[in-house]
Structure 1
Amino acid sequence: MAQSYKALKEDFVSNLSGGSVSEINIVTAVAPAAYLLWSALQSRQNFFLKYGPPAFLADFLLNVAAFLFATTLYSSNLLLLNALLVSPAVLLYALPPANTQQKKPLKPPPNNTPRNDSDNHEKLDPLPVRPFITAYRGAMMASTCVAILAVDFRVFPRRFAKVETWGTSLMDMGVGSFVFSTGLVSTRPVLSARLAGKTSSLGRSLRASFRSSAPLLLLGLIRLYSVKGLDYAEHVTEYGVHWNFFFTLALLPPFVALFQSFSAMITLTAPLALLLSCIYQALLEFTSLKAYILTAPRTDLLSQNREGIFSFWGYLAIFLTGQAVGFDVLPRNLRGVSKSAPGSVQRRSLLLRLVIWAIGWTTLSFAATSFKVGLNLRVSRRMANLPYVFWVSAFNSAQITLFCAIETLFFPSIYTATDMAAENKESVRATSKVLKSFNRNGLAVFLLANLLTGLVNLTLDTLSMGQMGAMGVLVAYTSLLTAVAVALDSWSLSIKL
């Protein structure tokens, strides 16, 4: 019975055809739409200023439960769900803001010395916290945690599950987005070291990268032995017999350190990602590599894990594209913008830069997949080929642009702060507690989500559960995850894995 259930579960979570890119965009639009409504409530009504149980509940419903409903109960009415989120936000924006705690206009300096914007600029952090990046990463992490359990229930449409070989789906995008966002934030320590004038040798960089990879490697081994020991349902064609996503994440930092040692200029990151993905795609097209990955018998360690080993190069390219965006938009001093430029100019330049990234990757994605004017290549998450790299990079660049536009609209005072304290205060006001919590301890929360997913699947027959039962389990699961994440953040605990 257990063996037949395992086989049934393996067949159930597979997806042969995938879903359309347009539908995936509508599903994922729920996250920025929810952030739009959150921002309207906060900026116009100061709704989350005093963070009690009502504020936490609203925060959870908007930034976690909304995506859960989008992938379950509202999966056939996605436009309606987005409209329900956007409409009240537009109404709130049209109404005058609440008068509570209204700010007084800033007074000019008491002395007669002319104000120097560059002097004020020096008082600000050269690597400021970007609330829209926190919101983007928090929403991506919350969505990932929702999907990894929801996919085991029938209430979750099969078209959202990972495809077998060719095509696009919501969960295929989720895996690539996880890697992209990891690359994006990995630029912060690199930029911090360069601003401080610190340089590291290749040996030191590799040692540091191996230290950061060790916990991920351990998690990969734990997952491997637990899955095999518990006879847990798995898809061999996803990563291979022994490989899993934690191994891919663990190998990224050493290879990135190696590549960066050959690149003294930050601006070479994007071309390096393009070169790597193009070389990998050429090997797929002009050698027997594609046939080997898709059809070779699993006779040795390499062939048993060929999907994970070879798709790693595509994920490495995605990681580098995330880094390219991070190097460009995380510093306060954007290239080509004067240090003394007003906050409004900085804000417009940042948004324009993100728009350019989104248009650039979208153009490349269209060129790779178009039948008439492009290469007519099909997206494959299983191989992480070139069109998959471009698709993931285009999607995430567009998502970040949306979050940045919302922040620009509702919280422009972040960019006009004249000192670090004022800027931090405005940044805190513009940041969802729930999204910040998922972002702060993302990997730890992701690990907890995996453990809870395994526990649910070992104790419940998820395939036979009806809609109400499934939703009850999923709401309880997401509530527990959110409560743990917010509690860790409230206690100022950062679990580094």
Structure 2
Amino acid sequence: MASYKELKEWFVTGFNGSTQLDIIQVCMFLPAALLLRNISCKSQNFIYDFIFTVIPIIGSVTSTEFNLLKLIILALVCIINSHKLTSPFTNTRPAFEIKDGVKRFQFVTEYRSLMLVATCISILAVDFPIYPRRFVKTETTGVSLMDIGTGSVLFSSALVARSARDPLKPLFQKIKAAMFSCLPLLLIGSLRVIVHKMVDYQEHVSEYGVHWNFFLSLGVVVVAAPFLDGSPMTRVIFSIVIMIFYQILLIFGLEDYIFNGPRDNFFSMNREGILGCIGFFCIYQIGLGLKQLILDSKNYMRNLAYATAFSMIITQILFAFVDPSRRLNNVSYTSWVVSHNLFYLSVVCLAERCVVNCSPNAIIDAINYNQLPYFMLSNLMTGIVNVSMFTLYTPGCLAYFIITLYMFTALSVMWLLLKFHIKLKFW
């Protein structure tokens, strides 16, 4: 039997990742679960919504050897219930509602919430043997399921960002609002570093560095966003120019520094996280730039299809010349994140528009009401599980139970907050 040290080394060692088809097959459970729930539940019910929305996604990232079979079964269920479905192109049900003067597309809300569900499942499941090693964050180059998480959070946040709602607002006010908005993120990120060092929590240095983390990257991107102000097309073009320039720097020595440089000061110890903000910033800006195009009141489906097809073609071309790398956040990786998010946004849109009448989803509504608190609670619970047991030795059935209980608990808290109209985000 392998020693604990050997198992630990195995679990934190990155891989070249899985195939793109494998990742697509796993993530197709997001729209599949949505469609299954919408044709199965006639009213909002937390237990039913958890079974039909969350359980299929848990199964998709763990029992991957049966994923194709499970997708076929879900497809057959939908075919059997085809009388409840309609053409997404002729559905007369409104795709969005106007609230506080802002268009809120239902499929965007569902895409963001389902993506966060899959992310929160993965951050705990990855510590158990039932989670496939090919889905772990890659060490150098390649792509995997967990490589898409941070970029997806940023891209999805851009689609609902307040900073893009009032283009005539003075730049100074935008910067002030962004700084106020990012303060909680920077505080959370700093506290996370302190707590991790105090409890000697296991971390993978090549992910963000010694002190850096996701919340700090998100805070930096948010506070820097107003400085690239302009039209949607300007944001996209400037982001592309920045990524090309960054890729040139990688080719001429920066890549070797990130992979092999010494860690002898704050910058070098956290170079992955700090330099990675360049790629994350561009992903966020592209999301802001595409927002107005793909969320058009009349042609949202057509525009979304065009944007998805174009971005996926560009991504495959880039893959032929530049190996994608989450650690570098290089041009092919950022393009891959954007194209995959557009693809999943497209299929969630189709799944949402295929149903004539669908009742509110308790899981979607609860997450949407308190998204950042839900992600923070999931991170906290993940840490509690990891310091209280040896996850590496956990049998499959017990691991399934723990992951399900963890998701049920976190979502129950969010549902209760929604029920009592308690919104924890006040900034």
State TM-score, norm by structure 1: 0.79
Gaps of 5+ in 2: 87-91
1:367 shift after superposition: 1.1
Letter in 1 for 2:171: L
Which residue in 2 is equivalent to 1:135? 110
Q: State the shift of 1:126 in Å.
A: 5.8
Residue aligning to 1:410: 355
Q: Output aligned runs, 1:268-283, within 5 Å.
A: 268-283=234-249
- Residue of structure 1 equivalent to 2:390: 461
Q: Structure 1 stretches of 5 or more lacking a match?
A: 42-46, 98-104, 106-120, 333-345, 371-375, 412-425
Which deviates further from its counterpart, 318-327 or 305-314?
318-327
Taking the aligned partners of 1:165 and 1:9, their CA distance within structure 2 comes to: 19
- Counterpart for residue 133 of structure 2: 158
Q: Confirm whether residue 213 of structure 1 aligns to residue 182 of structure 2.
A: yes
Does 1:48 find its partner at 2:42? yes
2:159 counterpart SS class: helix
2:54 maps to 1:64: yes
Alignment of 1:238-249 (within 5 A): 238-249=207-218
User: After alignment, is 131-140 or 59-68 more displaced?
Assistant: 59-68
Deviation at 1:128, TM superposition (A): 2.4
Q: Deviations over 1:366-411 (max 9, x none)?
A: 11012xxxxx211100111100111011100011111112222224
1:18 counterpart residue number: 17
Deviation string, structure 1 residues 242-294 (Cα, Å, up to 9, x no partner): 1111110001122111111xx2x233222122112111111111x21111111
Query: In structure 2, what is the Cα distance between the partners aligned to 1:328 and 1:490?
Result: 34
Equivalent position to 2:307, from 357, 375, 380: 357
CA positional deviation for 1:159? 0.8
Instruction: State the match for 2:74 in structure 1.
Output: 85
Percent of aligned pairs sharing the same letter: 32
CA contact (8 A) 2:163 2:174 kept: no
| d(CA) in 2 for partners of 1:128, 1:95 | 27
SS at match of 2:17: coil
The CA deviation at 1:440 is: 2.4
For structure 1, which segment, 482-491 or 446-455, has the greater mean C-alpha deviation from structure 2 after superposition? 482-491
What's 1:483 paired with?
412
Give the residue type in structure 1 aligned to 2:67.
L
SS of residue in 1 equivalent to 2:64: coil
Amino acid at match of 1:474: I
2:120 aligns with 145
- Give the distance between the partners of 2:353 and 2:308, measured in 1 at CA: 17
Q: Is 1:228–2:197 an aligned residue pair?
A: yes
**2:336 maps to what in 1?**
391
Post-superposition shift, 1:200?
A: 2.7
Post-superposition Cα deviations, 1:269-328, rounded to whole Å, max 9, x if no partner, equal: 22122112111111111x211111110111111111110111110011111122122222
CA distance in 2, matches of 1:296, 1:364: 31
Deviation at 1:154, TM superposition (A): 0.5
1:284 aligns with 2:250: yes
Shift of 1:202: 2.3
Partner residue, 2:268: 303
CA RMSD of aligned residues (A): 2.3
In the alignment, the residues of structure 1 paired with residue 116 and residue 176 of structure 2 have an alpha-carbon distance, to the nearest angstrom, of 28
Of 259, 264, 267, the residue aligned with 2:228 is: 259
Asked if 2 retains the 8 angstrom alpha-carbon contact of 1:10 and 1:235, the reply is no
- Structure 2 distance, partners of 1:27, 1:201, is 43
Preserved contact between residue 9 and residue 233 of structure 1 (Cα < 8 Å): no
Following TM superposition, the consecutive aligned residue runs of length 4 or more in structure 1 with deviations greater than 6 angstroms are: none
Name the structure 2 match of 1:328.
293
Residue 471, structure 1, aligned to residue 400, structure 2: yes
1:40-66 alpha-carbon deviations (Å, 9 max, x no partner): 23xxxxx332x3xxx322211222111
**Secondary structure of the corresponding residue to residue 227 of structure 1:** helix
Match 2:370 to one of 420, 441, 444: 441
Letter in 2 for 1:77: F
* Pair 1:86–1:485, CA change in 2 (3 A): farther
The residue matched to 2:328 in structure 1 has which SS? coil
Change (3 A) 1:433 1:326: farther
Tell me which amino acid in the other structure corresponds to 1:270: V
In the TM superposition, what is the alpha-carbon distance from 1:5 to its structure 2 partner? 5.2
Q: Does 1:317 align with 2:282?
A: yes
Alpha-carbon distance change, 353 to 431 in structure 1, aligned in 2, over 3 angstroms: farther
Give the structure with higher Rg (CA): 1
> Would you say the 8 A contact 1:127–1:330 is kept in 2?
no
